[in-house]
Amino acid sequence: QQPVQSPQAVILREGEDAVINCSSSKALYSVHWYRQKHGEAPVFLMILLKGGEQKGHEKISASFNEKKQQSSLYLTASQLSYSGTYFCGTGGVSYNQGGKLIFGQGTELSVKP
Amino acid sequence: DVKVTQSSRYLVKRTGEKVFLECVQDMDHENMFWYRQDPGLGLRLIYFSYDVKMKEKGDIPEGYSVSREKKERFSLILESASTNQTSMYLCATFHQPGQGSNEQFFGPGTRLTVL
């Protein structure tokens, strides 16, 4: 089953923060985050593994709550370049599944000047 | 530089036609995937392959088949195209766990319209 992302869409002003959630009904081993800009291929942002720490760069980070089977992506002080559709992809209980992921339906993020 | 290419960016076909979508990668990755992307539904896995001549069904394989005769090439086949197969099709590759980064690399996509 597809993980559920929320919200489905969000509009921000430059400099504002946003949180995108990804929830699964199945036990998770890993959560991957991707961003797709309009007309382009999805690009990998980060992976979170069961038992791992919160990952991220300066202003984009993510957490993984194994108990709740949920991951959250945090975008801080958003920039225009953050606009796009964000997807979470969930991996199963074994990492040795050839990288197979089940993706959520996506969250469309628009950052306005 | 990592590269995944797809044979066409845009394709228009008629109902009932046999359609071939090709994906080629130059990264020597074992695993390759075909997704379709529809608004509000995200990326849904059609088929994947973890080795030459090996394939497994994804979540929505009906109406599709695949072929992987060489490691670098993974083809998606629509045996008899129908209008509900109008969509964006994305190919992706992945290296075996522990042998590189953890990311899937995506091609640019093929927007298929079936009339």
Q: What is the pLDDT of residues A17-64, one digit of tens each?
A: 999 999 998 888 889 999 999 989 999 998 888 776 666 666 889 988
From first to last of its 115 residues, chain B has per-residue pLDDT tens of 668 999 999 999 999 999 999 999 998 888 999 999 999 999 999 999 988 999 999 999 999 999 999 999 999 999 999 999 999 999 999 876 665 567 889 999 999 999 9
pLDDT of residue B102: 72
Angle at A89 between CA A86 and CA A95, to 5 degrees: 150
d(CA A76, CA B10): 36
The residue with tokens 């964000």 is: A86
Closest of B55, B64, B62, B8 to residue B33, by C-alpha? B55
Cβ contacts of A18 within 8 Å, gap of 6 or more: A10, A12, A74, A75, A78, A109
Contact indicator for B4, B32 with CB cutoff of 8 Å:
no
Look at B94 and A98 and tell me if their CB atoms are within 8 Å.
yes
Taking the CB of residue B62, how many other CB atoms lie within 10 A of it?
6
Look at A41 and B96 and tell me if their CB atoms are within 8 Å.
no
CA distances from A6 to A3, A19, A109, B100 (A): 10, 9, 11, 31
pLDDT of residue B84: 97
pLDDT of residue A29: 81
Span A14-29, pLDDT tens digits: 999 999 999 998 888 8
**A32 close to B (CB below 8 A):** yes
Mean pLDDT of all residues in A55-84: 88
**A103 close to B (CB below 8 A):** yes
Look at A103 and B108 and tell me if their CB atoms are within 8 Å.
no
At B83 the three-state DSSP class reads: helix
Cis peptide preceding A7, ω within 30 of 0: yes
Query: Does A95 have pLDDT greater than 90?
Result: no
pLDDT of residue B71: 95
Mean pLDDT of all residues in A64-89: 93
A92: pLDDT confidence band, cut at 50, 70 and 90?
low
Closest of B99, B113, B104 to residue B4, by C-alpha? B104
Beta strand pairing call for B110-114 and B10-13:
parallel
Alpha helix stretches (DSSP H) within A9-106: none
Beta strand pairing call for A102-103 and B4-6:
unpaired
pLDDT of residue B14: 97
